Amino acid sequence: MSEQAKQTSEKINAAPKKRLVQDQFGAEYECLSLLGEGGQGKVWKTNHQNTLVKTFYRRNRDKEERWFKHVQWVLRQDLEGLSISAPKALITQPVPGYVMELMDGLHPLSVEMEGSFTSLVEGEGLTGYLKTGGLKRRLLLLAELANTLARLHAKGLAYGDLSPSNIFVSERVKDARVWLIDCDNICTNERSGWEHLHTPGYGAPEVVRGESGVNSLTDAWSFAVIAYQLLTLQHPLVGVLVEDGEPELEEQAHRGELPWVCDPDDCNEATGGIPMEMVASKSMQGLFHRCFEQGRLRAWDRPTLTEWRSVLDDATSMLLDCHNSDCRSSFIRNSACPFCDTEADAANSVLLIALVYSSDPELERKLMQTGSGRVLNRGETASLKRVPAGTALFHESSEVCQVRLDDKGLAVKVVPGNRIRLVLDGKEQEITRGILLDYDKKQGRNYFLHLTPALQSDEHATHPVWAFRW
């Protein structure tokens, strides 16, 4: 062999081999980089834009066939409209797997969680927490995740193996998009088996003990663990009792045999992180207590994802912005920012209270409270909808008007084709375009913004009303 041929042969042998897989239609994919790895296989980034591949470990022929048939079943399910990277095609060569689509600009939630935790333990305080969007973005991400899971459960399906590694979120902290990948564990809601798969630290106690397969209630447990950890940078089961004890205690905790870090008996209290009271509303705290106390051993007592979605929406709506230039965090409505102790300035926000008006003559009170509301921070615009706040259809309903608080005052802009009525001291003013309440008019009086229907078709009609002081 000539010297040149020998060098060429050495280069070929030295070059890294391409990891190529082929789907059922003959299309090839090069597995470029490993995005994640679990008990069943690996997830790869590929040379096709917005396309990932999951390959299954070839360890057991029976498991391989069972998994392959299950992925075929998932392919037939209606997951349209859900933020889930569902299988698009089956990988047949050289190993079994499937192809899924994922939009650009996303990365695993675990990356942000690890960065925030590292920043905290290395003495940088909450720098990492705030850099990844602070409390507001975390609540928005959790609300989106709860919405996706609630809609999946409504179809009679469960996700199965929820963990920060298979939740992908926006890399840009100004966005709050959430997508679920690695969805080959999706199954019918009350499936009794499917290998009792779970990610260590996130499986429901009955799944860890091998007593149950996955269902909506095991998803609810995993969601609560992720939510608590994302918000507080502390695992809800790993407190002082576990950290200072024998390694076996952590396994006991995950089996549901030990109290959680906020249990009233305080024997396993948190060793660090952010206090739950700083980052969770009263309603959120109640759901955490229900899940990790009553729901630890009685799965049916756990809050559903629909409950979580509603409570998270309410908490997000009631956030105040800190106007300390060195903080700029968001916090649950209180007298001072818990992250920097800066007193809240009433001039920087307006509280909008959601009511419902009924024209039914038999009702003694025409205005009824909904229990919902929202804080409008300076520089924010709120969209007021045709359906009352706090209902399941609020976010999907049509917009009637926008309300904005800025340096000029409180501005109301009506969407064309709608009309509203502004009531002050019993006097009504119909508005079809917009109105500005400047700061000269701010005298602490009660205003009522009636989102009156364009056509009054029902004699005893109802419509949303938003009350505020100005």
Confidence (pLDDT) at 11: 47
297 falls within a domain: yes
Asked if residue 261 and residue 173 are part of one domain, the reply reads yes
Question: Which of 323, 386, 309 has its CA nearest to residue 354?
Answer: 386
Burial class (CB in 10 A: 0-12, 13-18, 19+), 303: buried
Asked if residue 39 and residue 157 are part of one domain, the reply reads no
Pair 268, 280: CB distance under 8 Å: no
Asked if residue 130 and residue 76 are part of one domain, the reply reads no
| 291 Cβ contact partners less than 8 Å away, ≥ 6 residues apart | 220, 221, 224, 302, 303
459 falls within a domain: yes
Q: What is the tally of structural domains in the chain?
A: 3
CATH number at residue 213: 1.10.510.10
326 falls within a domain: no
Question: Mean pLDDT in each 10-residue stretch from start to end of the chain (470 residues)?
Answer: 56 65 95 82 90 85 83 90 92 92 90 90 84 94 97 94 94 94 83 64 94 92 98 96 90 95 90 93 97 96 96 95 90 89 93 93 87 94 92 85 96 95 94 95 95 69 94
Pair 82, 148: CB distance under 8 Å: yes
Question: Which of 312, 255, 317, 258 has its CA nearest to residue 286?
Answer: 312
Pair 384, 401: CB distance under 8 Å: yes
- Which H or E run contains 282? helix 282-289
Asked if residue 244 and residue 231 are part of one domain, the reply reads yes
Asked if residue 204 and residue 145 are part of one domain, the reply reads yes
- Which H or E run contains 307? helix 305-317
327 falls within a domain: no
Report phi then psi at 182, rounded to 5: 55, 50
Alpha carbon distances (Å) from 92 to 22, 31, 88, 163, 438: 6, 14, 13, 27, 67
Three-state secondary structure call for residue 85: coil
Last residue of a domain, one of 101, 120, 155: 101
Q: What is the DSSP letter of 293?
A: I
Asked if residue 284 and residue 142 are part of one domain, the reply reads yes
CATH number at residue 49: 3.30.200.20
Last residue of a domain, one of 83, 101, 119: 101
- Report the b/e string of 42-76 with b at 16+ CB within 10 A: bbbebeeeebbbbbbbeeeeeebeebbebbeebee
- Report the b/e string of 431-464 with b at 16+ CB within 10 A: beeebebeeeeeeeeebbbbbbeeeeeeeeeebb
205 falls within a domain: yes
Asked if residue 217 and residue 282 are part of one domain, the reply reads yes
Asked if residue 167 and residue 267 are part of one domain, the reply reads yes
Asked if residue 269 and residue 362 are part of one domain, the reply reads no
Asked if residue 428 and residue 460 are part of one domain, the reply reads yes
Last residue of a domain, one of 101, 128, 151: 101
332 falls within a domain: no
**Angle of helix 305-317 versus helix 216-232 axis, rounded to 10:** 30
- Which H or E run contains 385? strand 381-385
421 falls within a domain: yes
Asked if residue 61 and residue 113 are part of one domain, the reply reads no
7 falls within a domain: no
Pair 44, 34: CB distance under 8 Å: yes
Ramachandran sector of residue 202 (left: φ over 0; alpha: ψ -120 to 50; beta: rest): alpha
Name the residue range of residue 399's domain.
347-469
Ramachandran sector of residue 293 (left: φ over 0; alpha: ψ -120 to 50; beta: rest): alpha
CATH number at residue 375: 2.60.200
**Angle of helix 282-289 versus helix 305-317 axis, rounded to 10:** 160
Sequence length of the chain is 470
Asked if residue 124 and residue 255 are part of one domain, the reply reads yes
